[in-house]
Structure 1
């Protein structure tokens, strides 16, 4: 059986309809984006920690792991200035994730992920970019699980 995923035909600049789960994600995304733009690289890296999934953090949860800092966070922090805050969601995609993290690192969780495309500021060239949000099965706070496409 072949499964095809069709792109939304809705205008990319338009806000999509959001459900209750999406609304909680938007709140986290807005806080994350504000923290990204709150200062220099180091202070922003500390400010986003409460909104980033533990699988992207060091074992002691004092910072993001080095790979996340060097790649995902570096790109997101440099480009956050080009996106609307509060965010405008142009597309939502349910992902097939059922768990994230690893038991040996103490950050394993069951749950689901959704990808949210956020619009750029008026006058900024380019398409909306996705952020991935993880929703814990136990009902805990959603967190950003991928930020590297901003």
Structure 2
């Protein structure tokens, strides 16, 4: 599964747990909402647990949020599910041919651009919380009912 898919599923999981806070958010329940298998949900919940975004207790079904909605940013989720080295969205191919004009210079040419893009992504993700996502879903649902 790609980073972007794990990220989207991670946001989905945290948001669903909030909407189902009075119920049991088991991996089967979450998997039905995400439309995937429970094993994948357990894997991503494990990543979220390791990042201290959810609490899961052995022998007790379901996950709970470990922090307030307003304290969990999308950057937290991104970092929790991102298994890429050094949390970098872009990786530069490091085995380019040093005998080639492009091969010996491409890394230095694109590295600053990719670093800027990474910073822009992180800035945007750090400004949005799970609380914002929950509120947006509530607003969209109300708009759909008015139609």
TM-score (ref. length: structure 1): 0.25
Higher Rg: 2
More strand by share: 1
TM value normalised by structure 2: 0.25
